[in-house]
Each structure stands twice: as structure tokens, then as C-alpha cells.
């Protein structure tokens, strides 16, 4: 699996602009404060996960978690039980 690191703030900003939204408009649609959008776009490192999920949902960005444990659990769930 290839991992590419992106600046989270840039991702949000580019998606917002492609959607034709101002920071204030995105904040309104997501139900968050416009200061939060500014902070996210400028690299704020701490934010409530629920709040972030609201912004990402409006921008149609999926947040995916990956770990060796999750991969193992996925494999186990996909493997039919042996008889």
C-alpha cells in the first residue's frame, strides 16, 4: 500500500474551493464556526473528531483508518469458518 502524505489543511482548502464555497459558507453548511474552517486550513492540530467529521462530510472527504490489527480483523471476517 502506498502512503502519500498531504497537508490536511490544503486538502480541505482545495476541496472547499472546488465546491465553490467560502470559508463562511462551508462553516454554515457544516454547522460549525467559520474560525474552525480557517484554523483547519492553517494547520490547527487539535479539533474535536465529531466537528471534523461534519466538515469532511460536506466536502465529501472520507476519513479512513488503517492498521495491521484492522487488516487482520478484515481478513478474518472475510475468511469462511473451517468445517
Average pLDDT over the chain, rounded to an integer: 91
8-78 under CATH 3.90.1300.10, yes or no: no
Mean pLDDT along residues 39-62: 95
Mean pLDDT along residues 19-41: 97
Question: Residue 39: its pLDDT value, please?
Answer: 96
**Residue ranges of the domains in the chain?**
8-78
In this predicted structure, the answer to whether residue 1 has a pLDDT above a threshold of 60 is: no
Give the separation between CA 3 and CA 44, rounded to whole angstroms. 22
Amino acid at each position: 500500500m502506498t502512503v502519500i502524505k498531504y497537508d490536511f489543511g490544503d486538502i480541505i482548502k482545495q476541496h472547499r474551493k472546488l465546491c465553490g464555497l467560502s470559508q463562511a459558507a462551508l462553516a454554515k453548511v457544516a454547522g460549525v464556526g467559520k474560525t474552525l474552517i480557517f484554523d483547519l486550513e492553517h494547520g490547527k492540530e487539535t479539533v474535536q473528531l465529531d466537528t471534523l467529521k461534519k466538515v469532511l462530510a460536506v466536502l465529501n472527504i472520507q476519513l479512513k483508518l488503517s492498521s495491521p490489527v484492522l487488516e487482520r480483523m478484515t481478513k478474518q471476517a472475510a475468511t469462511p469458518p473451517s468445517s
